[in-house]
Structure 1
Amino acid sequence: MPLQHSSARTWLRIVLLAGIVVLLVSLVVAVVLASVLTLGKQEISPKMLKWEDIGTTRNLQEVILGRCYSYVSARHPELGDKDCLKIWESLKHAFIYKNPCNITTEDYQPLMELASHPIPCNKSLFWSKTNDLVHRYTKSNHNFLTLEDTLLGYMTDRVSWCGDPSAPGINYESCPKRSECESNPSSVFWKMASKMFAEAACGVVQVMLNGSIEAGAFRSSSESCSGHSIKRLKGILEERNFKITCEENYRPVQLLQCVNNPDHADCRLCSSNMETP
């Protein structure tokens, strides 16, 4: 009898050990299989699309929200009812997880409606190829507003953004240039914002152009109010029943330029006239 009990215990130990070994082998196989599957997923996961322009501005959300709150709280408190968080969410949903070459006007329509506000008559100032100068002018003369002085323009000026179908849905490495595809987030946005700004203009509208650059004031060659591209612009506007006047070397703007170029010949006229013989 003792021999039988000993054999039974030995057999039971063998069965238990075999079960433990099988369990350990199963666990090892499961871990290895999970690792293989994980590596496989990493290998086949889509990569971010690559483009030629700079990527999305870092901390884009903080930049947009900060500028929005600054605009509606400090610069234009009469717009205090604007919901900056909703405006940011609307901008984000316009491009996140989307192919940056397939952006539509419908994507931005909610944003345009949320951020729009009235533009006082006689204050609209349009520009082309005079970016730095025109904004120095509006900073010193608050009687005029450019698109970049509106809420939409102020929030997004010199900021870049685009999405990507793969996670995290925003491409911080590169975004497409207009030459790569016209329906990119930046081009569609600024086209819509410019149209909305133009439609809101009333009364006398100002335009600041650079007629002296070789490329022309608005994508043709020109040198002054009598130059080819300016004449063409006049003709286009007159055909649409707009009254237009052109003033060369507008004195307030010229003086502003003299701040940065005091030794220029045109900036020495005043001092030379004051000289006594």
Structure 2
Amino acid sequence: MSDLLGTRSIIALALIILASCLGETWAAGPTKLQNKRWKGAGTTQNLKNIIVGRCYHYLSLYPAIGEKDCNGIWQELSDAVFKKDPCNITEADYQKLAEVAGQTIPCDKTLLWSRTDDLVHRYTKATGNFVTLEDTFLGFLFNGLTWCGRPNQPGMNYKSCPAWNECDNNSLTSFWKMASAAFARASCGTVNVMLNGSVDGAIARRESFFRTVEIPSMNPDKVSEVKLWVIDDIEGEDKNSCNTDSLLELKLFIQLHKLKFSCIDNFKPVQALQCVGNYEHAACNQCRYQ
């Protein structure tokens, strides 16, 4: 009997130790992830107030887009990322947000861009003739902001969030992939694209959203033409133009998606805008007397 009791005691003690170890292992996983310090900045302070405020401001500027539930949009963002691993957020998580913040894009007004961030937005602001993603309702709401949730906890992580390339499915990358795809799908007529002709390497990198998301998302039955504007920096070299190998390769890529292609070097209206702050530059003097 004493041997049996001794054996039972040993078994019971082993089970207790095993349960304790398993409990510590189980708890360590989520805790470690919750306390992880990511490489990127944390959630933008006062994020909800900024988004809701931008929402009402945009609606006051463009009432034609119809009624939008500004607090509901914040709720959809919250639902997409709360209590989730910020490196496991997919485009599908933002689908409801895309639906409630959707709008119609007029044909021939879409202006995509790659590595021309400052210039393209100066141009759309100056002319009012085109719309970039950042000019749309969805893009305007979230442009320049950072956010991510905390695994198994409500609320946002204000200490740190995954950097852009820290993991594939992080909360920001997946959002902008979703938004870019939605913008491209909504486009019709001529889609214009402003590219930088002074950059090193391929004019449109293979990993760019333009190639990986926007071109594949366009509907050839709705988009009549993809027109590239190759714009050199005023102070930069002419490294790419419509007849260089990089552009010809890009042309083939676009045509493989059953989209028509055209290209123009240094579109004059854009070059005129560049000359506003560089009127003494040779290129601008040349423009002046043509």
Residues 161-180 of structure 1: per-residue CA shift (max 9 Å, x gap): 11112655311121112332
Partner of 1:203: 189
Quick check: 57-66 or 77-86, which moved more? 77-86
Structure with bigger strand share is: 2
Between the aligned partners of 1:59 and 1:263, the Cα distance in structure 2 is: 44
Among candidates 133, 138, 144, match of residue 158 of structure 1: 144
When normalised by structure 1's length, the TM-score is 0.77
Which protein shows a greater Rg? 1
Task: Indicate the SS of the match to 2:193.
Answer: strand
Alignment of 1:167-206 (within 5 A): 167=153, 169-206=155-192
Quick check: 205-214 or 167-176, which moved more? 167-176
1:68 equivalent to 2:55? Answer yes
Shift in alpha-carbon separation, 1:215–1:67, aligned structure 2, 3 A: farther
Shift in alpha-carbon separation, 1:118–1:270, aligned structure 2, 3 A: closer
Amino acid at match of 2:258: N
Among candidates 26, 30, 36, match of residue 49 of structure 1: 36
Partner of 1:128: 114
Among candidates 273, 281, 286, match of residue 256 of structure 1: 273
Q: Where does the alignment leave 5 or more consecutive residues of structure 2 unmatched?
A: 1-30, 207-238
2:43–2:148 contact (8 Å) kept in structure 1: yes
Q: CA deviation at 1:259?
A: 1.7
Alignment of 1:132-147 (within 5 A): 132-147=118-133
Between the aligned partners of 1:86 and 1:169, the Cα distance in structure 2 is: 16
Between the aligned partners of 1:234 and 1:185, the Cα distance in structure 2 is: 32
Task: Indicate the SS of the match to 1:246.
Answer: strand
Between the aligned partners of 2:277 and 2:240, the Cα distance in structure 1 is: 22
Q: Where does the alignment leave 5 or more consecutive residues of structure 1 unmatched?
A: 1-44
Residues 137-177 of structure 1: per-residue CA shift (max 9 Å, x gap): 11112121111111110001111111112655311121112
1:59 equivalent to 2:46? Answer yes
1:211–1:230 contact (8 Å) kept in structure 2: no
Sequence identity, in percent?
A: 49
Task: Indicate the SS of the match to 2:240.
Answer: coil
Task: Indicate the SS of the match to 2:113.
Answer: strand
2:82–2:153 contact (8 Å) kept in structure 1: no
1:213 equivalent to 2:179? Answer no
Structure with bigger helix share is: 1
Paired residues, number: 229
